[in-house]
Amino acid sequence: MILALQFALGPFLLDLSLRFLYRSRRVELSELPEHLQRYVATTARTHAMAVPRFTIIEDLSPNAFTYGHTPPNNARIVLTAGMLELLDERELEGVVGHELGHARNWDMLLMTAAQLVPLVLYYVYRTALDVRSNNSRTRGASRGVAVGAYLLYIVSQYVVLWFSRTREYYADRFGARSVGSASALGRALVKIAYGLASRGDQSAAQAKGAAGGQRLAAIGALGIFDGAAARSLALTSRTGASALPAPADETTTSAAAAPASGRYHIDGEALLGAMKWDLWNPWALYFELHSTHPLVAKRLLALSALSEELGEEPLVRFDLPQPESYWDEFAVDVAINSAPVLLLLAALGVGAAAGLGGLGGMLLLVAAAMMVKLRFTYPTGSFPEMSVATLLRQVKVSACGPCPAG
């Protein structure tokens, strides 16, 4: 019932939110740039879709998303003003094509159906937990059902996130094929990531008060990807690139060709360096498991493979050899990060079983583990000087195992 109401009322509520809570305006197809009018009309006709409704949010952060009930027939596509400013024609068409892909593939309906599974499992868990009976066997069975349902609920949450990431790949393929260029969409992803990273403060200044900033963050969660996850890749790929537009046929390295869109071009060598953390560090896999969107580096690799199919030069060929395994550093990070919590649980267990006698020693161990974690996370001493670009290319780095620099 809850998901049915969400599916039925969600688009209307989002319509109202965009109208009254954001600086946005409905635009007709004829008000969009001419190249975008032609692209949308042609794509809709080719795939038997209704032309979507468009809304422009007056915000500098480049972003886009789509929503609706029966998406191929009543999709709404929302673009920010920053998106229209930042991207060139083919890149903008690729992004709109990505959103059309979500509509064409019925992703809103599919995701609503997928979310039904964890909701039902959580309901079973709560129901079994509330069972009251004088029969010990019945109580034991209900507790077993509750534990099983809760474990399945956790697993199903990750399955839904995986399904969401998979739909993003399909939308990327649709957008790239409809434009005839996977490289254009790849360039757009990097530029949008850079725009989100560099213009976030300007966007926040535009928002009126804290509530406005929170609303913009909520819209960002629906966007073409998680801007926070792409921040380092975006900033690094921009570092060292000329601030002037590059000619359309200029290549920055043999690994990438990146025409500019009036602001800058993408440094292909720096982009390769930025992708290493996403593709090699186990922490990247951990963060992706908890995200609705794939890591940008993985999407760029998928788009590069599609470029080969389309007969064009890929945006990037990631052929760097991995020098070593990083799972040992990951294991150390996890051990040091989790030790205080595990020891605290052990201390509580000892206190409950043996009384206060052994509790003092366990608490001293907890304090020692916290000190080790603090020194590991915030080391002291003399460190080499490094630029921001160099730091962002480091692979052996995580939230609890930083790379200190002077």
Phi-psi label, residue 90: left if phi above 0, alpha if psi -120 to 50, beta otherwise: alpha
Does residue 77 contact residue 11 with C-beta atoms inside 8 Å? no
Q: Which residues pair with 78 in a beta bridge?
A: 55, 65
Nearest Cα to Cα of residue 108 among 191, 241, 7: 7
Reply yes or no on whether 85 is catalytic. Answer: no
Question: What distance in Å separates the CA atoms of residue 76 and residue 71, rounded to the nearest whole number?
Answer: 8
CA distance 107 to 171: 9
HSE toward the beta carbon, residue 375, CA cutoff 13 A: 6
Alpha carbon 367 to its chain centroid, in Å, reads 36
Contact 62, 87 (CB under 8 A): yes
Q: Which amino acid is at 260?
A: A
DSSP letters, 201-247, are HHHHHHS-HHHHHHHHHHHHTTSSS-HHHHHHHHHHHHTT--SSPPP
Catalytic residue among 91, 93, 99, 329: 99
Quick check: 94 and 184 in contact, CB under 8 A? Answer: yes
DSSP string for 13-59? HHHHHHHHTSSEEEE-GGGS-HHHHHHHHHHHHHTT-PPPEEEEE--
Amino acid at the residue 275: M
User: Looking at this protein, which amino acid is placed at residue 306?
Assistant: L
For the chain, give percent helix, strand, coil, nearest 5.
65, 5, 30
Active-site residue numbers?
Answer: 99
